[in-house]
Amino acid sequence: MSRILVIDDEAEIVTLVSEVLRSAGYEVRGLANSREGEEVFRIFEPDLCLLDFRMPELTGADLFRQFKAIDPLVETIFLTAEAETTLAIDLMKAGAIDYLLKPFDMGQLMAAVRRALEHRQLLRENVNYRNHLERLVAERTAALNDALRGLKHIHEGTLSALSTALDFRDQSTSGHSQRVAQWTTGIARTIGISGEELHQIEQGSLLHDIGKLKIPDSVLLKPGPLDKDQWLVMRRHPEYGRDFLANIDFLRSASKIVYTHHEKFDGSGYPQGLRREKIPIGARCFAIVDAVDAMIFKRPYNKPISFEKAGDEVMRCSGSHFDPELIRGALDFLSSHVPKATQSKQASRTA
């Protein structure tokens, strides 16, 4: 049952209008004192208000503003004299649904009430529908975020498995892929790289040698120096890695570092012979990290040296192998992240 609040300073009008509305099946509250309007409105929670425009305490316009502040969807019909029609129209522009000129007949009143309540119902349905859509969007967004988080874990697990498989195959580099990925990402972050670009650098660094999975054991695991033909085979692993990742949607962008991680700043690297800024920034950061890691950890082809000596060697190759503008920042980062115990332990083996 719709609720209607009638406020008019003429008690006879309040009584008459209230009786007509009740006979039509509406729940009605009537007031002749406009100062009681706000309190009754809060308790009664009407769907529609019929307000006399000119009242001695609070005007219909005053009540209209109070009521709209409490319930923006409440409908309002003004009961007004002919001289007040301009003000009534202005209030309709502010949100009132209609106005009736005094004296009005009850047929006019009932038609205006029905229109107002139909409009109120339509507004409620629209609000409910909008709220339903908002809840639906929130639920779907939460489900999508859950799915993306799950997909991220799957992706991270895939990356970890691939890098572990590579380290297992080339046992001389145990843990190498994880280390260089963490350090390269850290250096890139310190120079201001963030977001998706940083994520691509992390992925590319982690899988930089994934192309070696296609290198024959006779070449990859050979204990001595490679001959010319074997070296040509080995030098193809960046290409193999790029092609491998190009077929995996979420790793396609990371293939840039995989393909360029053996380029050198002066253009003497491979496979493309890129120079300077033509080499992706992630690959330039990686080159420093990879060289330091190779020097301070034991490999079949070299004995480990101290981090200090490794840093000296990187500085010596500034401008040839490595980007001179990145070296100092990279070495500062590495000096605080390379395990001190590992450095000391590895370096002592050379004594």
Q: What is the pLDDT of residue 350?
A: 37
Percent of the chain predicted with pLDDT > 90: 41
Asked if 274 and 267 touch (Cβ cutoff 8 Å), the reply is yes
Residues 6+ apart with CB under 8 A from 291: 310, 313, 314, 317, 321, 322
CATH number at residue 92: 3.40.50.2300
271 preceded by a cis bond (ω within 30 of 0)? yes
Q: What is the pLDDT of residue 110?
A: 94
Say yes or no: 218 and 83 in one domain.
no
- What is the rounded CA–CA span in Å between residue 345 and residue 266? 34
Q: Is residue 143 part of a domain?
A: no
- Phi, psi (rounded to 5 degrees) for 102: -80, 140
Asked if 289 and 187 touch (Cβ cutoff 8 Å), the reply is yes
Say yes or no: 235 and 341 in one domain.
yes
Say yes or no: 117 and 191 in one domain.
no
Range of the domain at 76: 3-129
Q: Is residue 142 part of a domain?
A: no
- 206 pLDDT more than 90: no
Q: Is residue 144 part of a domain?
A: no
Say yes or no: 343 and 227 in one domain.
yes
- What is the rounded CA–CA span in Å between residue 81 and residue 188? 76
- What is the rounded CA–CA span in Å between residue 245 and residue 166? 14
User: Residues 297-316, buried b or exposed e (16+ Cβ, 10 A)?
Assistant: beeeeeebbbbeebbeebee
Say yes or no: 63 and 174 in one domain.
no
Asked if 270 and 247 touch (Cβ cutoff 8 Å), the reply is no
Say yes or no: 256 and 341 in one domain.
yes
Say yes or no: 43 and 182 in one domain.
no
Q: Mind listing the pLDDT tens digit for each residue in 118-167?
A: 998 888 888 888 888 778 777 776 665 555 455 455 556 666 666 666 65
Please spell the DSSP secondary structure of 59-87, one letter per residue. Answer: -HHHHHHHHHHH-TT-EEEEEE-GGGHHH
Q: Is residue 140 part of a domain?
A: no
Strands 75-80 and 3-7: unpaired
Q: Which of 73, 98, 129 delimits the end of a domain?
A: 129
Say yes or no: 39 and 103 in one domain.
yes
- 349 pLDDT more than 50: no
Please spell the DSSP secondary structure of 118-169, one letter per residue. Answer: HHHHHHHHHHHHHHHHHHHHHHHHHHHHHHHHHHHHHHHHHHHHHHHHHHHH
Say yes or no: 105 and 189 in one domain.
no
CATH number at residue 210: 1.10.3210.10
Element (H, E) at 51: strand 48-52
Residue whose entry in the numeric block shows the structure tokens 């308790």: 43
Say yes or no: 123 and 175 in one domain.
no
Q: Which of 129, 150, 181 delimits the end of a domain?
A: 129
Q: Is residue 154 part of a domain?
A: no
Q: What is the pLDDT of residue 284?
A: 94
Average pLDDT over residues 85-94: 75
Of 257, 339, 260, 327, nearest in space to 289 by CA: 327
Average pLDDT over residues 64-85: 86
Count structural domains, the chain: 2
Q: Which of 65, 98, 129 delimits the end of a domain?
A: 129
Q: Is residue 203 part of a domain?
A: yes
The overall average pLDDT reported for the chain is 83
- 285 pLDDT more than 80: yes
Q: Is residue 262 part of a domain?
A: yes
Q: Mind listing the pLDDT tens digit for each residue in 233-268?
A: 889 999 988 888 887 777 778 889 999 999 999 999
Say yes or no: 103 and 174 in one domain.
no
Q: Is residue 93 part of a domain?
A: yes
Say yes or no: 104 and 184 in one domain.
no
